[in-house]
Structure 1
Amino acid sequence: MSKQRLQQVADTMQQILGQVIQYELKDPRVGFATVTGVEVSADLQRATVRVSVMGEPDEQAATMEGLQRARGFLRKRVAEEMNHMRFVPELRLVHDTSLAYTMRIDEVLHEVEAERKANPPKLDDEPEDHGRA
């Protein structure tokens, strides 16, 4: 199967799974989860679904557990929406922490910027003499 077709399948699955998780799952453990990407194997047997979860670590773990338990339902909904496919890939859900990592870097950069604003460098000072004559 062409790379373009695989990407189309992955994009469609990402859209479907995002909608189903947000609007159809009734598991109270599932908090705010976003499907950040889907990678489909060349033979369409497996799909790796990256999920970003907001909240505290214990809430994130509970959400991922709830999503793992709902894999069959999620796969069934993908099959219903993508009825033109002969075979629907087995879903492998992976906790995507890249968003949290990005948010932490952004937070640190804002802290550094605030610290620089609070303690700006003094440009009027004489440069330090580093042993030069």
Structure 2
Amino acid sequence: MSQLRVEKVQELMKQEISQIILQELKDPRIGFVTVTSVECTGDLREAKIYVSLMGNEQQIQDCWAGLNSSLGFIRREIGRRIRLRFTPELTFELDKSLDYSAHIQELLLKIKADEAAGHALRKDEE
């Protein structure tokens, strides 16, 4: 199957799944969820949905349980909205890249603060 078609379907699925989670899921456990990407197999039979979850550890666990319990509903809605011969089997994957980038940002800010403190000490010594 054409790689261009797979990429278009992936982007369309990302948009539709984001809209479904935001507007149609009524589960109170599902909080702040961001769909970061969707990866489909070449034959469009399986799709991994990468999501980023915000909140404390308990909120993330509850949200994860809510998302996994709503997989059937999301798959049915995707089948209705995107006309494909087969609706892909969906699985959620946790995307840790946003957490990692926040951690790197904190480290960079700490290094910058340490350098500023070091410059201040050198000026006091002069």
Any residues of structure 2 matched to 1:44-63 within 5 Å, and which?
Answer: 44-63=44-63
Structure 2 segments unaligned to the other structure (5+ residues): none
1:85 aligns with 2:84: yes
What CA distance in whole angstroms lies between the structure 1 residues aligned with 2:103 and 2:77?
34
Match of 1:102 in 2: 101
The aligned counterpart of 1:129 is: none
What CA distance in whole angstroms lies between the structure 2 residues aligned with 1:118 and 1:81? 57
Tell me the matched-pair count. 123
1:1-133 → structure 2 map (5 Å cutoff) = 1-82=1-82, 84-120=83-119, 122=122
**Counterpart residue type for residue 92 of structure 1:** T
Shift >3 Å, 4+ stretches: none
Amino acid in structure 1 at the alignment position of 2:68: Q
TM-score, normalization by structure 1: 0.86
Give the share of equivalent positions with the same residue, in percent. 38
> 1:66: how far off?
0.4
Alpha-carbon RMSD across the aligned residues, in angstroms, is 1.5
1:4 CA displacement: 0.6
Letter in 1 for 2:107: V
Give the helix-richer structure, 1 or 2.
2
Cα distance in 2 for partners of 1:119, 1:23 equals 51
- Structure 1: 5+ residue runs without aligned partners? 126-133
Q: TM-score, normalised by structure 2?
A: 0.91
